[in-house]
Amino acid sequence: MLINYFGEATLKKLWAILALLFLGFIKGANAEYVIGSDDALAIKVYGYEDLSTETRVSDNGLMVFPLIGEIKIGGKSTLEAGRMIAQLLGSGGFIKNAQVTVVVLDYKSQQVSVLGQVNKPGQYTLDVPRTLIDVVAMAGGINPFGEDRVIITRHVNGKTVKEEIDLRKILEFPETSKVVAIEKGDIVYIPKAPMFYIQGEVQKPGSFRLEPNMTIAQAVSVGGGLTPRGTLNGIEVARQNPKGAAKTLAVRLTDPVLKDDVIVVDERLF
């Protein structure tokens, strides 16, 4: 897990850095937003304030502009839309060499959902091209219970397609990892990591994320170590078999911890 590789404090700093980089990318982005259905636009013609218009694009990409009437604007960038309106104003004999600006007031057509074990799950706008790292940073990063594995669900040619991505690999080896682009309508899901539970004479009994290749000794350490009354002798684990029935087992400190194990640390006899 990411915490296992970086440490929780370092991981939080890493996500904070990614968030700052993301905000800087917003300010410096040159990519033109592509207008889609349900986007709200503000359109202004320099020197003709009476033509200033705020409108919402219809489901089929249409909008109505004064003097011109209904025009197809969906699928065009804001720059292309401004040039098209200026051309139509000129060819219609209304305004020659019009200077038109188109600004998106509400981005509705280019949204992505980020769900699961992130700090701020919800819908986010792809106002410029985004990568998987971008949208996870937008959602505040992965919370302490999140897995390294990310599941992206999208629609391709009318079919639902799922892709699993190893986020740890992207963060550790960005120079060799592929860039995972996120598109409108995608669902980015961070599953909950496998858990284990520890009870009895430890400083912090409770539930914890299961790290790869974790041993019983490491699990006791994650639980804060022994209390003054605790002992490492006679540790037991309640473990479920494939049919769901629980069985209590005596374990050694070097034995592996499995998903959903309940580790019980006994009290010393004297």
Distance CA 18, CA 210 (A): 25
**Spatial CB neighbours of 267, under 8 Å, sequence gap ≥ 6:** 200, 201, 229, 230, 231
**At 59, is the secondary structure helix, strand, or coil?**
coil
**What are the residues whose beta carbons fall under 8 Å from the beta carbon of 192, sequence distance 6 or more?**
116, 117, 145, 146, 147
Q: What is the C-alpha separation between 264 and 270, in angstroms, rounded?
A: 18
- Long-range contacts of range 169-177, CB-CB < 8 Å, 24 or more positions apart? 170/132, 170/133, 171/2, 171/14, 171/133, 172/5
> In this predicted structure, what is the pLDDT of residue 17?
46
**DSSP annotation of 51:** G
Domains of the chain with bracketed CATH: 2-28+110-190 (3.10.560.10), 40-106 (3.30.1950.10), 195-265 (3.10.560.10)
The alpha carbons of the chain give a radius of gyration, in whole angstroms, of 27
**pLDDT one digit per residue (tens) for the chain, 270 residues:** 544 444 555 554 455 445 444 444 443 333 467 888 888 999 999 999 999 999 999 989 999 999 999 999 999 999 999 999 999 999 999 999 999 999 988 888 788 999 999 999 999 988 778 899 999 999 999 998 899 899 999 988 889 999 999 988 888 888 777 889 898 889 999 999 999 999 999 999 999 999 889 999 999 999 999 999 999 998 999 998 877 788 999 999 999 999 999 999 998 876
Q: Which residue has tokens 């009318």?
A: 158
Q: Give 3-state DSSP helix, strand, coil % of the chain, rounded to 5.
A: 25, 35, 40
